[in-house]
A and B are shown apart, each in its own frame.
Chain A
Amino acid sequence: MTSRPFHFLIAFASGCLLTFMLLFNGTLAIYGTLLLSSWVPHATGTVAALLILLVLRPKRASLQSPPLWSYLGGISGALTVVATSYTMNTALAISGTIAIGLAGQLIFSVIADARGMFGFTKRLPTMRDILAIVFITAGALVLILFGAAP
Chain B
Amino acid sequence: MTLSVTLAFIAGALIILSRQINGRLAQSTSAMESSFWNHIVGLAALTLFAIIFGGLFTQGAKDAPWWAYLGGIFGVMFIASGSWLIARIGAANTTIMIIAGQMISGVAFDIVMGTAGNLWARVIGVALIFVGMWFATNKR
Contact = CB atoms under 8 A, between A and B. Distances in A.
Interface of A: 4-5, 7-8, 10-25, 27-28, 30-33, 35-50, 52-53, 56, 58-62, 64-67, 69-84, 86-87, 90-92, 96-97, 100-110, 112-113, 117-121, 123, 125-126, 128-129, 131-140, 142-143, 146-150
Contact of A59 (B11, B30, B77, B87): B30
B8 A24 contact: no
Interface in B36-78: 36-47, 49-50, 55-58, 60-65, 67-78
Contacts, number: 438
Interface of B: 1, 4-5, 7-47, 49-50, 55-58, 60-65, 67-82, 84-107, 109, 115-118, 121-122, 124-133, 135-139
A5 to B, nearest CB: 6
B124 to A, nearest CB: 5
A41 B132 contact: no
A84 B17 CA distance: 15
Contact of A19 (B25, B79, B102): B102
A7 B88 contact: yes
A105 B87 contact: no
B101 to A, nearest CB: 2
A98 B132 CA distance: 19
Nearest to A101: B12
A61 B96 contact: no
Nearest to A1: B139
Given A27-B68, A73-B34, A100 B5 contact: yes
Contact of A60 (B22, B30, B132): B30
B29 to A, nearest CB: 5
A133 B56 contact: no
14 contacts: A15-B98, A28-B69, A28-B71, A31-B61, A36-B57, A49-B39, A53-B33, A58-B30, A66-B24, A83-B14, A100-B12, A104-B10, A137-B132, A143-B106
B11 A83 contact: yes
A78 B79 CA distance: 13
B93 to A, nearest CB: 7
Contacts of B99: 15, 102, 105, 136-137, 140
